[in-house]
Amino acid sequence: MAYLRTHTLPRHLLLAVLAALLLLLLTYLLPPYRNYQLATAGAYVCATAGLTVLVGLTGQLSLGHGALMATGAYAYALVSDKLVDGGTTGIPLLVVSLVAAILATMVVGFVLGLAGARLHGPYLAGLTLTLVIVVPAITTTFAGTLGGDQGLSVTVDPPPVGLGAAFPFERWQAWITLTAAILTVFVLANVVHGRPGRQMRAIRDDEVAARLSGIDVARTKVGAFVLSAATAGLGGGLLAVLTQSVAPGAFSLTFSLFLLMAVVIGGLGSLAGAVWGAILIVVLPDLADSLAEAMPVSSNLAERLDGNLAIGVFGLIVIGVMLAVPGGIQGLLVALVRRLRGRRPAASGPADVGPAGPAAPGPGVDADRPDASGPSGPEPAADPARPRTPSSGSPSTTTE
């Protein structure tokens, strides 16, 4: 246990394996529709995990992650189409197309990152918002390639024959996206806990101090954006696999806002929070729609409540979180675990976020603080909540 406390990589590996086993079991317990939802959440996790690192750790606000996911999805569709024509099938088709989705999105992320490195909060937010809004216009402009409003269809091969003829397609989809999600969170957890993560936090807390301590601020910011774009592209590619189609309507402004709201509600900067957020994006509309159906209202109104109710609830929750619980779900859980253990927050030593930390709306923002090492939910793979070495608590001293 002591070994795992001090060695991040083996600890993350162990957690990833545990999560994989747990989720594997889950895919056999759930009915197909729930497996499909689980698969969707897996795709979202890729995007929200990257987004929470970007926003929570570097303080760069992107409203454009929907557009980045769209980039990944379209890249997947175009590349897989070419591969299918060339006779590629099965797992190679899947992996090569996903890699293409990641690479294409990284290019877009690099351009945005260049802008983001020079711009502050509202400017970057406005730029990325514009990107989201023009996605439909771009798909119409290049309708010949991107298929306009109709979009493109995506060929997804059935599960490998080795799994048996009766293997449910939804379970196969869940396996694909959950594998990607676990890999994504595993990689991000190591980044967050390593030197890049410390540098990102240092920049967020005080850009000038970070620069003075030898951090290449521009490179770190662009790097964070590219990394975040890569995971969004992966998420987008996975969505293409799930829906077997790509269309601009799936990447609306509302969807982009959902992604951002999800990581805020989950707890900005926390990978575990990103998982909570992704689950919320899948579950909340479902719950809201059930609620709307249960309400004794006219069919006309019920139709309008469908979808819209979830949007409103999301908005209300995020406003409530911002005003009352800046740590989000993960912050609440960490506080709860502490209370159950009878420890006061003060016992965890100085918080690594100053009172005026630019991107940190409040305490409990980073899940990765001491005392948070307990079981914090059913998603251990995504739980980076492990004590850090003391030296990492002081970002501005990161000079190596």
Partner 1 sequence: MDRFLFLTVDGLARGAVFAAFALALVLIWRGTRIVNFAQGAMAAATTYLGYSVTAASDSYWLGLVAAVFGGLVLGAIVERGLMRFVDVRSPLNAVIVALGLVLVIHSILGIVYGSRYRAMQVPFSRESIEIGGTALLSPYDLFVFGTVLLVMVGLALVFTRTDIGLRMRAAAFAPDMSRLLGVNVGRMLTLSWALAAAVGALAAMLVVPTEFGAHPHSTDLVFVYAFTAAVVGGLDSPAGAVVGGLVVGLVLSYVSGYADGDLSAVAILVLLIGVLLLRPNGLFASTTARQV
Residues that bind partner 1 (CB under 8 A): 55, 59, 61, 63, 111, 114-115, 118-123, 125-127, 129-131, 133-134, 137-138, 140-141, 253-254, 257, 260-261, 264, 301, 303-305, 307-319, 322-323, 326, 355-362
Question: Least distance (Å) from partner 1 to the CB of residue 150?
Answer: 15
For residues 365 and 243, what is the distance between their CA atoms, to the nearest angstrom? Answer: 34
Nearer to partner 1, 23 or 329 (CB): 329
Amino acid in position 34: R
Nearer to partner 1, 87 or 350 (CB): 350
Nearer to partner 1, 21 or 316 (CB): 316
Q: Which residue has the tokens 């980039």?
A: 71
For residues 311 and 309, what is the distance between their CA atoms, to the nearest angstrom? Answer: 5
Residue 257 near residue 125 (C-beta atoms within 8 A): no
Q: Which residue has the tokens 């251990």?
A: 380
Q: Facing residues of 164 across strands?
A: none
Residue among 148, 177, 190, 193 nearest 35 (CA): 177
For residues 111 and 381, what is the distance between their CA atoms, to the nearest angstrom? Answer: 31
Paired tokens of 154: 């995506």
Residue 182 near residue 373 (C-beta atoms within 8 A): no
Nearer to partner 1, 125 or 152 (CB): 125
Paired tokens of 231: 């995971």
Question: Least distance (Å) from partner 1 to the CB of residue 42?
Answer: 24
What number of CA atoms fall less than 13 Å from residue 36's CA on the CB side?
Answer: 11
CB-neighbour burial class of residue 391 (10 A; exposed 0-12, middle 13-18, buried 19+): exposed
Residues 6+ apart with CB under 8 A from 380: 15, 18, 19, 22
Residue 55 near residue 260 (C-beta atoms within 8 A): yes
Nearer to partner 1, 61 or 282 (CB): 61
Nearer to partner 1, 24 or 138 (CB): 138
Nearer to partner 1, 119 or 192 (CB): 119
Nearer to partner 1, 56 or 233 (CB): 56
Residue 395 near residue 220 (C-beta atoms within 8 A): no
